[in-house]
Amino acid sequence: MEKTLEKVRIASVADLPEKMGKTVRVGELELAVFKLGNGTVRAIENRCPHKGGVLAEGIVSGEHVFCPMHDWKICTTDGKVQAPDVGCVSTYKAVIEDGDVYLFI
């Protein structure tokens, strides 16, 4: 059976810094939320699969973020770690409505 996702407002778009991450907590979850250069918003798990680096503090380039600890490159769209490293993080759907950002958790 599919789990129903909850739609949660996390910020207004204007509150998110462009091309930077922001740590957002929703219940027990800690997420890294990014507003990309093209204005879209992405949300991923805030823990690097390598050794737990805080991805919200990473450097954003296009749709990727570089982990601040050892520079693994992670796609904010599908959560996949880019070669030669391997792994992935959970991703969460984000939508913008009337200037507010909502995540489906």
The piece of 4-12, 20-28, 47-55, 86-94 that touches ligand FES (CB under 6 A) is 47-55
Strand pairing category for 73-75 and 29-35: unpaired
Q: What are phi and psi of 55, to 5 degrees?
A: -70, -25
Q: Given the complex with ligand FES, which of 76 and 102 has the nearer CB atom?
A: 76
Q: Given the complex with ligand FES, which of 26 and 68 has the nearer CB atom?
A: 68
Assess contact for 64 and 76: CB atoms under 8 A: yes
The label of the residue with tokens 């450097």 reads 59
The piece of 9-17, 26-34, 63-71, 86-94 that touches ligand FES (CB under 6 A) is 63-71
User: 22: part of which helix (H) or strand (E)?
Assistant: strand 21-26
- Tell me which residues touch ligand FES (CB under 6 A): 48, 50-53, 67, 69-70, 72
